[in-house]
Amino acid sequence: MPGRLRDMTTGLPHDSVRAAWTALRTETPLLHLDTAACGRTTVATWAAIARHLELEAELGGYVAEAEADGAVTEARQRLGELLGGFDQDEVALLDSSSTAVTQLLAAWPCEAGDEVWIAPSEWGPNIEAFRYRGLEPVVLDVDGSGLIDLEALRRRLLTKRPAMVHLTGLTAHRALAQPAREIVEIAGDVPVVIDTAQALGQIEIPAGVAAVYGTSRKWLCGPRGVGYLAVREPWQGRLVPRVPALAQHERPVRNLESHEAYVAGRVGLATTLREYVGIGPALIRERLAAVGRELRSGLADLPGWSLRDPIDAPGAIVALVPDTDLNLFRLRADLLDRKMLTTVSAPARAPLDITRPMLRLSPHVDFEIGEIPRIRALLAA
């Protein structure tokens, strides 16, 4: 198979990125192909978490939190830069991506019955969150690959105005990234909000987005239990947070944070981001894109399976559809027993786009092409 031979000999770019990434982490017995669920944190990250927890035990939670203010401010600043140029005081830290979107919608200037425009590939729980808020999800026209039709969007905006255009920057179940930069330009003063849970770390986030949110535990490989929400002016000034009397902050988005917080995780995230930026976000994104291409190429002719996306699709998520009625949940458990960690993407994750369960592989920059024969053998077994 000439294509596979080429993959095995060409190699991946930026091997120094792989080396630096690996050096920051403990060894694992797993072939970890589940970054899109939860990445592997660094030794320094969990050491920073442990140090803060020790401070809480010694000094009490509030004193320890005050001492951590510099690190947490650093985390906000670095997140803002990576998310498309938000100021640190436009960034709120929460416990998860789902909490972030719930808090955002609760405070957003909209009324029941207002429309939210989405793509068919929208994350299922987001659709439910829109409906719970009383908003009406309206599905936009897309092309054959699932990308929003920009001309159709332009025409629609001539006659209607939604509460927001909501994008899943990069979908969780397959390698699909919406043309966010172009959509922001077309939308004009209509706010564009992006779920960046999978996008941050894999692709560049464009400037000019009204709001973004996500979690640190995926492609940043930060602590579990730390999410983020960033809202730009003038939209931040229009938020209407439900604020407890003792939690007033001059920036509205900060009033969406919980007073009870996983401060140790925020301190750990500051360390994660410091190391991440030190390696080079652009280099990491480039290597992840190459990892995705090479893995799709190496599995394209695998008997019994079909790729959901083109080989040159963006990012490092690889979605495989079985050619037969295979029990993927049982397969996932079997693969884990054999030290390969994956995820099953069930239809509920994107009910307007997934017609049957898919197996998702999501390696990070420490992946090497030499692992492809092992993956092929495990999936063929």
pLDDT per residue over 23-49, tens digit each?
Answer: 999 999 999 999 999 999 999 999 999
Averaged pLDDT for residues 315-337: 98
By percentage, how much of the chain surpasses pLDDT 90?
93
pLDDT value at position 6?
34
Considering the domain architecture, whether residues 275 and 286 belong to the same structural domain is answered as no
Same domain, 26 and 81: no
pLDDT of residue 250: 83
Residues 133 and 66 in one domain: yes
- Indicate whether 231 pLDDT > 60: yes
381 pLDDT band (50/70/90 cuts)?
Answer: confident
Domain range enclosing 52: 44-279
Task: Encode pLDDT of 246-293 as tens digits.
Answer: 557 888 999 999 889 999 999 999 999 999 999 999 999 999 999 999
Same domain, 116 and 245: yes
Number of domains in the chain: 2
pLDDT value at residue 5? 32
- Label residue 169 by pLDDT band (50, 70, 90): very high
What number is the average pLDDT over the span 206-212?
97
Give the pLDDT score at 206: 96
Rounded Cα distance, 368 and 28, in Å? 14
Q: Which of residues 279, 314, 339 is at a domain's end?
A: 279
Give the sign of the dihedral formed by CA 94, CA 189, CA 88, CA 362: positive
285 and 207 in one domain?
A: no
Confidence of residue 141 (pLDDT cuts 50, 70, 90): very high
Q: Other C-beta atoms within 10 Å of 42: how many?
A: 22
Judged against a pLDDT cut of 70, whether residue 309 lies above it is answered with yes
Whether residue 7 is found in the same domain as residue 57: no
Q: What is the mean pLDDT of residues 73-80?
A: 98
pLDDT of residue 119: 99
Domain boundary among 279, 298, 325: 279
For the segment 197-202, the average pLDDT, to the nearest whole number, is 98
